[in-house]
Amino acid sequence: MIYKSLPQFYTGQEWRKFRLNLILERGNKCQRCGKTFKDSYLVGHHKEPLTIENVNDVNISLNPNNVDIICSKCHNEIENRFGAKKQVFIIWGSPLSGKNTLVNQLAHRNDLIVDIDKIYECISNNSRYDKSDSIKQNVFAVYNLLIDNIKTRLGNWNNAYVIGGLSNPSKRERLQKDLGAELIYIESTKEECICRLYQDEERIKYQDLWLKYIEEWWEEYERYNNITAIN
């Protein structure tokens, strides 16, 4: 496959398998700070910077000798080298498809990340996976404020990443148009997402809730896909 952008490369099966194999071989320690992290917080960092000019050269992009496994925090300390300022990316897909893993790979210190799960955690005393209905209205008020700030390009951030399920194509395309964003779909299967759920120790207490989220997302996604196919 010929990759036409860095996000397209990082969402591809080749890179995702390559990164996971490196973590299996080297362990879950950051090669920079030495601390241990779960897989989703570990990033494959190219020592020779990956660019649109060299992304299709496997001797650079998929060369184990050119890739260190480091944590998101260490990655954030590296200079931002992905494109012009104020680019907006909408990262969408099923719950547990790997949206946050991709954003950890792409985002840097001066980037803006809008993630409903993190907002729930930030404005409450709950786990980020405990979505209390009591604060839902407040969560979406914060979310909508951040979306408005991205629309007007308020602040000095470099790139913005909006993370969401967005299985409804009309809502997804409207948000893309409003933000002038690039859509990045995280490919997965329902079975893969459910498997990750049962392997995720942080969501053990909320498995039934998140299983419901996964089932509902795929039901809506498949319904809209079937409508598109018929039309």
Global pTM value: 0.77
Please give the full DSSP string across 3-16, using - where no structure is assigned: -SSHHHHHTSHHHH
How do residues 187-205 score in pLDDT, each as one tens digit? Answer: 999 999 999 999 998 889 9
**Section 207-218 average pLDDT:** 96
Per-residue pLDDT for 83 more than 90?
no
What's the mean pLDDT in 22-38? 93
Among 82-91, 98-107, 211-220, the minimum mean pLDDT is found in 82-91
Domains of the chain listed by start with CATH number:
1-78 (no CATH), 81-231 (3.40.50.300)
What pLDDT sits at residue 13? Answer: 87
pLDDT at 227: 58
Structural contact between residues 184 and 91, judged by C-beta atoms closer than 8 angstroms: yes
Q: What is the pLDDT of residues 38-79, one digit of tens each?
A: 888 899 999 998 888 999 999 999 999 999 999 988 887 775
Q: What's residue 109's pLDDT?
A: 82
Would the pLDDT of 82 be above 50?
Answer: no
- By percentage, how much of the chain surpasses pLDDT 90? 70
With CA atoms as reference, report the closest residue to 139 among 122, 161, 163: 122
**Average pLDDT over every residue of 206-213:** 94
The closest alpha carbon to 197, from 221, 215, 219, 220, belongs to 215
Mean pLDDT of 90-94: 97
- Is it the case that residue 125 has pLDDT exceeding 50? yes
Q: What is the mean pLDDT of residues 117-144?
A: 92
HSE at residue 8, side-chain half, CA atoms within 13 A, is 10
